[in-house]
Structure 1
Amino acid sequence: MTRPPRVLVVSPIASHPADQGNAARIQAMGRELMARGVVCEFVHYATEGSAPAQEAAMSEFWRGGFHSIQPQPVARAGMPGVWALDDWCPAFLADQVARLHRRGRHDAVLVHYVWMSRVLEGIAGAALRVLDTHDLFGDRHLAARAEGLDPSWFFTTRAEEARGLARADLVLAIQEAEAAVLRERSAAPVLTLGHMPPLRFLVEGGAEPPPPRAAFGYLGSANPWNVASVRALDAALADAPDLPWLLAGQIARRDLRLRSRPVLLGPVREPGDFYRAVECVLNPMAGGTGLKVKTVEALAAGLPVLGTRDAFAGLPAEHPGHGAADTAALVALMREFRRSDGFRAELRRASRLLAFRCAAAVARQYDELAALLARAAA
């Protein structure tokens, strides 16, 4: 009888709670692989800290084992104006992961983020080395500056990113457009592995939901891309009191001085608190890279979603409400949503159909990845 594949997962981001997009993807990946019989052991390099409750939740979730490693402070960028590839992944971490791999004899080591790829260099033997990119980080600072934003978090050169990609036997891209770019930057095979939460609207029901607090709503963290998008939406809504909206998530804690005076819901314990408070979810994202997790989470909740083209990047969107050219066009769609029963019904239907299509595609992608891991075990 063939034994299940054993995978050592290494991440600088906690998988629990799933209160931001990257954590949601990491948790979903573990859930989907374990549902397909893969035994997953998780190493959390706690770059953003780790509370006891988080560690307890992760220990319970990752049934193959859980390890928490305290981070080493990062002193300075290793290259002029950008981070060097290994600045955030010290040698001692690579050594610890290598020891765990030798002890556990894992069939694969899966690392989240290209700047953690250093740990793959210490993986000996026939183990499959997998790198989940989450995003493009080569010249990410240039993309931010082109949008008028100060670069934040990790960014490096394309050459440094390519060096990290070369450490993997298999590279994962979060959406097909980025997979095409990664194929140009990497000699390793690239598999698109999207993200789609469970479709909540298929299992939820029963009691009548409470009246919404606002017609429209936005839920997001306070990263620079989200802040810029919300400010642009605020400017477009400043003279539109007939379009009430609600702001939720960590971004609501920022003093953004919004002229449109949205209802402030603030951070929510779970996304359902936000989705029950609005009729329609907005994503006014301008620019950015990766998959917009807030978009797919809203689709999975079953709500109608209005957004820009960038908000639906990487998704097979067809409805006009899923491709506004800019915030002015998005506001026009909001007015149509308030005015027309037919438009509201069409948008809800299109949003749910898109959720079904995305969920089916992501399920096939996970089947493919699980098959590759099973082949490595064999």
Structure 2
Amino acid sequence: MQVASWIFRPRADYAADPGASRGRLIPQPASPTRTEFQRDRDRVLHSTAFRRLKHKTQVFVYHEGDHYRTRLTHTLEVAQIARSIARALGLDEDLAETVALSHDLGHPPFGHAGERALDAAMAGFGGFDHNAQSLRVLTKLERRYADFDGLNLTFESLEGVVKHNGPLLGPDGAPTGSYAGRALPAAIREYAARHDLGLHTYASAEAQAAAIADDIAYDAHDIDDGLRAGLFKLEDLAEAPLLASILDEVRGRHPGLDDDRATHEVVRRVITRLVEDAIAESGRRIEALAPPDVDAVRSAGRSAVGFSPAMEAEERAVKRLLFARMYRHSYVMRVMNDARDVVTDLFARYFADNGALPPEWARDASGLDDARRARAVADFIAGMTDRYALIEHRRLFDATPDLR
């Protein structure tokens, strides 16, 4: 069997080098057995926030079925794809994996519905953003080590989490990307003042690999989960040209195949096509950029990792199908609206009554001004799993939505 040569590509000059890391906010002695990025990965894997992802919604609430993705299984799928892309491009796989494992740590319960509810509740106090919350988790809210709060990750891991979707500041210093027209979240501004993350530049190619892996995993597993839930049928995939061609290939190669196996054959091909296109296009971009080191990737002025223009259009069509058929499906909308109300209720109750919080959180929130108390309440709720949020709502309120 002939094996593609890129599978064994050596470390590239433009890869992030754990031996030349910009270091940690709190200096620590080097490990005799692990690189700096391997230590970062291991700290994330052993964190409390990572374990909680097991019972946080991706699209379906945990009790709707054991086979649907959770925020944890999504994260693991992103990490696998990120490593594959990083390996093909000669990047540091451990850094790509660390960013992938960390990127959703700040998500509250009930997925984007929970995030929207917290953002609305925090509108007068700086809002809520899961990316900024991930940074708070990594630099403040994990309290396990004797010498520091957070996990004290390297610069490269933290910049990857914060900037995996691109620069946060434009050349004029104004917020850009998803923050254009508004202020950067306070958590990002405050941490960057202590540990400059270069918010005006791109992150490493490893972080960019994690970002595109997130898109690939989303597309593939939401097709799988949507079909499994009966929100749409295999034939509906024909609405997206990429999926139509893949389904035709599967039907032609395996006539009479049952829908469960056909679904798997479609999903695995979606991942393969997207990954292979990202590797090929990123290779072309890197060849054109000819970056001599990781800093040249950061300052290139455009992403080094991405889909080809043709595949980017195909991938957008997949997202449009999923948005119409899945995310805006009446069943999903009803459950998520109820979930949003749970988060809204909890925030209002905790903010009005410190005594409703667990003793350690009530103690920390007492005596704070409104803005800092609201942030403490948001931190508490954002750390909840779906089921704990429902338990707390049942404890504090007479009626709690069933979310079914």
TM-score range, shorter chain: under 0.3
| Structure having the larger proportion of residues in helix | 2
Structure number with greater CO (CA < 8 Å, separation at least 6) is 2
Q: Greater strand percent: which structure?
A: 1
Q: TM-score, normalised by structure 1?
A: 0.25
TM-score by length of 2: 0.23
